[in-house]
Copies of this chain bind each other. A is one copy, B any other.
Amino acid sequence: MNANLESLASPRRSDAVADRLRGLILTGVYAVGSRLPNERDLSESLAVNRASVREALKRLEFLELIEVRHGQGSFVREIRASSALQLIEDLLQDRRTITAELLRQILEFRRHMTVHAVELAACNRSEADVDRARALIEREACDGREPAVALEIDVEMNALLGEATGNLVYQFLTNLFTRLLRKLGPLYYNEQRDFARSLGNHRELFAAIEAGDPIAAHRVIEEMLDYSEAAIMLEANRLEAEGLIGPAARAPST
């Protein structure tokens, strides 16, 4: 535990403080229902100004991880009582709060959300959406063998899917998963990736959406999700078995 590294981790002090406190809360160091140290003590022990601590606490309050009560203090809330979906992003940020079961739950939701999103996209996509998707797929056909490019294209495709639904709620959700993909993607976009399969799936999905055929789109996306989920869960189970993720995770041996 090097305090220097942590303080340099994030350009903004308040973000660094928020990350630190978030970790302490999510890993149970600060138990549910307990009171955090007061702002003055926190600012002293973290060696930052109280304003930075306050901004950090604000962020945790926004995530509904804590409840700040005037005159009393800040209290740790039950995470399951939160309504901040972005929390899953935070949970995936610490090795100790990632579990295979959590991933399974996230993927379970993603599946249903994505299936419905592509159906909506097939019904509501605009001509502009179609053109953009076509350009993306052409680019994939050219440079898609490069993992970094493939990831970037998947990210763009995901974002485009959200827009094409014509539903703001689905757009928010796909935006969230797009960000997760961008952040976690590098973990499994490697040279072993099946480039031809991915390109083929994209083309099929595109064709279905362009044709306005939600049934076909549904069929294709299910196949894509089967493949994606299997790959992720395989890796997750392996990591958990090796103790690299989960409540008692230790650093990788490198």
Footprint of B on A, CB under 8 Å?
Answer: 11, 14, 51, 54-55, 58-59, 62, 70, 79-88, 102, 105-106, 108-109, 112-113, 116, 120, 163, 166-173, 175-176, 178-179
Q: Can you name the residue of chain B whose Cβ is closest to the Cβ of A55?
A: B58
CA distance A120 to B105 in the complex (A): 11
The minimal Cβ–Cβ distance linking A214 to chain B, given in whole angstroms, is: 13
The minimal Cβ–Cβ distance linking A140 to chain B, given in whole angstroms, is: 23
Partner of A55, one of B54, B70, B82, B113: B54
- So how many copies of this chain end up in the complex? 2
A102: chain B residues at CB < 8 Å are 168
CA distance A23 to B170 in the complex (A): 23
The minimal Cβ–Cβ distance linking A15 to chain B, given in whole angstroms, is: 10
Contact B11 A85 (CB under 8 A): no
Contact A175 B55 (CB under 8 A): no
Partner of A80, one of B51, B86, B112, B168: B168
Contact A169 B58 (CB under 8 A): no
- Given known pairs A80-B163, A83-B179, A85-B85, the reply for A105 and B169 (CB within 8 Å) is yes
Contact A169 B84 (CB under 8 A): no
A106: chain B residues at CB < 8 Å are 169
CA distance A190 to B11 in the complex (A): 52
A116: chain B residues at CB < 8 Å are 112
CA distance A81 to B116 in the complex (A): 20
Q: Can you name the residue of chain B whose Cβ is closest to the Cβ of A102?
A: B168
Contact B85 A172 (CB under 8 A): yes
A sample of 7 cross-chain residue pairs with beta-carbon separation below 8 angstroms, ordered by A number, consists of: A14-B58, A51-B54, A79-B168, A83-B176, A83-B178, A85-B169, A85-B176
